[in-house]
């Protein structure tokens, strides 16, 4: 029996959604509501047959969700709200409490709210989205899917920072990792395409976009990941510095009189590709500038690749080898240049790519004689969310009835 599952990603001023037919995984409708809280909020929705856009004043997330549901009805994508069999919500931070996606209950929501101190910009708005959908669809089960849950398999030696122990014990400061839903999805997809059990593979997944993270997956479990206590750490990104010498921060604060908030803004919004190139946070713009002779843009591309290569090398050491390397995310899926730079001169590891396959974005781009498989797999976090809704909320109800 087919179920209609809604996958929701609520941002501070946006609402991204996808309605899928499950278990087939077919997209029925997807869209984005942007600039929530403004008079010129933009609504974009599309199905396989049509696409439409409009601007309208949308005061808050409640109005956005109400508008979304009204649009689904008015465009006859659903006949009644009861057609939606389940809702999955992306939640940024599950702390150490959530080791898997979880059915939403009052207790679940209370725990997510308690974890807001670890993700103050994300968890509160994720909770808001859950509350609104629960109120508007009271008989529809919902599931919280956590960015951090996949990384809860990390060993203590991989997640503890060498700080005084009380910072972990009392404040929960540790490596949590993010992009877990994406890493889990593409590694599972890789195993299916290879026809090999994921549990038998050593995989490194490079989720490269404006936010980038690398994940080492051994035996189907995350054993290390580059993002840490926050998504700021790890490799260089669009506007984030990634890892730097921490003593730089008090030095800058003393020299320039910056507050902690200003330092955080510098690291998260003014650094990375944008900070080095001075051109843009967008990899495509930096590529174009580098091709036009911009030295700093070329340096930014080199730094981006080298930080990723260093992380890959350390994960190969940790896992004792590598069977497959995955590229995903906006840059990983679309930039042949980025993939080539990351894989350059790694023949000694049994890793090399075929230039022609790489340029046409083939699924497998490794050279014919290469030992390590190199895959380009489009991530689909919405499908992963919908699959978790099916597994957690609907698996015991073959004929699910929302009016029950």
Dist. CA 196–CA 203, nearest whole Å: 12
Q: Reply yes or no on whether 147 is catalytic.
A: yes
CA-based nearest residue to 94, from 393, 327, 388, 331 = 388
Question: Phi first, then psi: what are they for 248, rounded to 5°?
Answer: -60, -35
CA atoms within 13 A on the CB side of 329: 25
CA-based nearest residue to 240, from 222, 263, 259 = 263
Residue 74: exposed, middle, or buried by beta-carbon count in 10 A (0-12, 13-18, 19+)?
A: exposed
Write down the catalytic residue from 85, 100, 147, 285: 147
Residue 88: exposed, middle, or buried by beta-carbon count in 10 A (0-12, 13-18, 19+)?
A: buried
Q: Are β-strands 41-46 and 51-56 bridged in parallel, bridged antiparallel, or unpaired?
A: antiparallel
Query: CA distances (Å), 25 to each of 20, 346, 380, in order?
Result: 6, 36, 10
Tokens of 192: 């299916």
Catalytically active residues are 147
């Amino acid at each position: 029996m087919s179920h209609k599952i809604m996958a929701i990603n609520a941002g501070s001023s946006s609402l991204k959604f996808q309605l899928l037919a499950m278990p087939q995984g077919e997209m029925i409708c997807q869209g984005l509501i942007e600039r929530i809280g403004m008079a010129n909020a933009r609504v974009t929705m599309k199905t396989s047959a049509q696409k439409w856009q409009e601007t309208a004043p949308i005061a808050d997330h409640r109005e956005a969700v109400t508008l979304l549901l009204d649009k689904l009805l008015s465009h006859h994508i659903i006949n009644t709200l009861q057609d939606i069999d389940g809702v999955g919500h992306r939640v940024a931070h599950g702390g150490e409490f959530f080791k898997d996606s979880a059915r939403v209950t009052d207790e679940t929501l209370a725990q997510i709210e308690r974890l807001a101190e670890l993700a103050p910009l994300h968890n509160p708005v994720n909770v808001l989205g859950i509350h609104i959908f629960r109120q508007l669809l009271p008989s529809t089960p919902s599931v919280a899917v956590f960015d951090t849950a996949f990384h809860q398999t990390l060993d203590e030696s991989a997640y503890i920072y060498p700080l005084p122990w009380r910072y972990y014990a009392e404040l929960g400061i540790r490596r949590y990792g993010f992009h877990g839903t994406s890493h889990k999805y593409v590694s599972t997809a890789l195993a299916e395409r290879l026809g090999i059990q994921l549990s038998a593979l050593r995989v490194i997944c490079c989720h490269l976009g404006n936010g980038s993270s690398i994940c080492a997956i051994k035996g189907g479990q995350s054993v290390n990941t580059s993002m840490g206590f926050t998504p700021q750490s790890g490799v260089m990104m669009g506007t984030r510095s990634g890892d730097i010498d921490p003593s730089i921060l008090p030095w800058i604060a003393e020299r320039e009189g910056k507050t902690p908030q200003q330092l955080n803004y510098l690291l998260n919004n003014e650094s990375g590709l944008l900070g080095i190139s001075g051109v843009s946070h967008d990899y495509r713009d930096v590529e174009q500038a580098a091709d036009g002779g911009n030295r700093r843009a070329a340096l930014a591309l080199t730094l981006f690749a080298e930080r990723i290569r260093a992380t890959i090398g350390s994960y190969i050491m940790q896992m004792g080898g590598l069977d497959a390397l995955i590229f995903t995310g906006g840059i990983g899926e679309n930039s042949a240049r980025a993939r080539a730079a990351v894989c350059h001169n790694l023949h000694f590891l049994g890793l090399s790519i075929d230039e022609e396959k790489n340029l046409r974005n083939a699924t497998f781009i490794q050279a014919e004689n290469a030992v390590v498989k190199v895959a380009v797999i489009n991530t689909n976090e919405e499908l992963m969310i919908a699959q978790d809704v099916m597994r957690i909320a609907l698996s015991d109800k073959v004929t699910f009835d929302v009016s029950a």
